[in-house]
Amino acid sequence: MTRRTRPPRSPKEARTFEALPPARGSRAPFAESWWGREWLRALEESSLDSGRLQRGRSYARGGAVGQVTVAAGTAAAPVQGSRRTPYRSSVQVEQLTAQQWDRLLDVIAERAANIAALLDGEMPAGLADDAAAAGVPLLPGPRDLDPECSCPDWGYPCKHAAALCYQLARLLDRDPFVLLLLRGRGERELMDELGRRNTVRAAAEATARVGAGPAAAPARPGDPAGPAFASRAELPPLPPPPPLPVHPGRGPVLVGSAAPESGVDVAALELLAADTATRAHHLLRAALGPRYAETAPPVPLTEWQDTVRLAASHPDLEVFARISSSCGRSPGELAAAVRAWRHGGVAALDVLENPWSPPAARLERERATLRAEWADGQPPKLRIWRNRWTVEGRDAQLRLGQDGLWYPYTKDGADWWPAGPPDADPTVVLTALLAV
């Protein structure tokens, strides 16, 4: 890939992040935060090849990106490709100048809510707008990213560097200070400087109050609101929403609370209450997300799909036995459906139960990709029937879903079972499947 020469950097602070595990399913976005999505937008707008980006996403989802080291203006990680030794990939980010940092720190220190949000793992949208108004591009644009890699592919970026950039989006989601470090300054340095500026600001305000004489009495509960509005003083910002609980509640314990003659199945009622809490938690998590307005409404489930969802959401042997006895399917069929659901929801369940015939041109492109990506250019021999590729001599199979993803399967006795999360790249799925 084309590389720009940059002067060497001497970062004051560096952070290392352990390799993230493979993603469970490929439909979930890499970034849920608005700043993580802006990072991906800059990456995708700078790319010259969408195919390499797609492979990079597959590599990142498949766990090919190793330990990530982030320092001022750069991030680097080993990325496992088709050869035995990982490649060394990096991305350099345009750092802010000293003058830009001075203006940005003034913008952050102006509102205490900015510092509180950063420490809480959030990047206030107003902060980016205020920084832009001050002439500081807080979020990187397409020209601010410079990916590099030790592989022989000169794409811009190559799939390995793209995988690193997609993995960085997941790290940015968790900690906005990663973005600030890439822009040139670490968390410790920033917090020390913000503390100094707040001290200076507080001293100046105290001096001004002494010179202005007695201050007006603060408003008290019960005071009329009219004078406050008439003074045209800036109203305080609304408090942030309460934090989302890490796990949904289990609901009330009802066993033993109903008389035997009441006819109420209290165990089933407990399960429904727990399931309601789980679904409410998912809805609340989506509502508190930055892109809730753009989220499509959930598609209604069929009775069978909702049965599988319920069994997958509550992994309890008693729950499974009760659902199995009343759903009209055998325990084995329900177990396979539950396993599929956990790997990909409705789409994975459809792959399990409904074979289909993809266009021949699509399958030929996928086979060409498999041959090109395989380490020695000779992938295993495959028996192809409709959307299913079975490895000859092995109890291994790939199934192409109508969502464009490849799902791994293994054979146990006479039955095929879902064996892991899907991926858009058949090479990634087949490599992981045969490794097991």
**Model confidence over 151-204: pLDDT tens digits?**
887 778 888 999 999 999 989 888 888 999 999 888 888 888 887 877 777 666
Comparing CA positions, the residue from 73, 40, 38, 15 lying closest to residue 162 is 40
**DSSP class of residue 376?**
T
Contact (CB, 8 A) for 57 and 158: no
Low-confidence residues of the chain: pLDDT under 70: 1-12, 23-28, 48, 202-242, 244-271, 273-277, 279, 281-283, 285-299, 315, 376-377, 436
State the CB neighbour count (10 A cutoff) for residue 223. Answer: 11
Q: Domain locations in the chain?
A: 14-190, 265-275+300-354, 360-435
Contacts of 8 (CB under 8 A, 6+ apart): none
Specify which residues 412 forms β-bridges with: 415
Q: Do 398 and 387 form a contact (C-beta atoms < 8 A)?
A: no
- pTM score: 0.47
- Is the Cβ–Cβ distance between 354 and 397 less than 8 Å? no
Predicted confidence at residue 351, as pLDDT, reads: 92
* CA pair distance 290, 307, nearest whole angstrom: 31
56, 165 Cβ separation under 8 angstroms: yes
Q: In what order do the strands lie in the sheet with 87-93?
A: 14-17, 68-71, 74-79, 87-93, 145-149
The whole-number pLDDT of residue 3 equals 38
Find the radius of gyration of the CA atoms of the chain: 27
